[in-house]
Amino acid sequence: MYSVLFKFDLHRYEQLTDLAASTFQPLKQMGMPRDIGAAAAYLADSDTGGFVTGINIVVDGGLLSGLGNQLMDEATAKAQK
């Protein structure tokens, strides 16, 4: 997720976002604060989220699934050796 903390070293931020997007995230982009806001707005809107209760919404651009796939691929490659 993009953070203002990265602005202190913009070059390093660009390297990290390129690495994260190309390696782990199926959506190939870093999350922005507006992505969290969109999830909150969905839940707050009585028309779209009015019947949603007791759910965890993961707003990570597929990071968890991408990391899981990469780790599975690495484990499979090791097991085949």
Q: Write the pLDDT tens digit of every residue in 55-80.
A: 888 888 877 776 666 766 777 788 88
What CATH topology corresponds to 4-80? Helicase, Ruva Protein; domain 3 (1.10.8)
Segment 5-35, tens digit of pLDDT: 656 666 676 777 777 666 666 777 777 888 9
CA distance 28 to 9: 21
Which one has a higher pLDDT value, 1 or 49? 49
Q: List the chain domain ranges.
A: 4-80
Picking from 74, 67, 68, the residue whose alpha carbon sits closest to that of residue 23 is 67
Which one has a higher pLDDT value, 45 or 24? 45
CB 58 within 8 A of CB 52: no
CA distance 6 to 81: 39
Rg of the chain on CA atoms, in Å: 17
- pLDDT reported for residue 38: 92
CA distance 63 to 77: 21
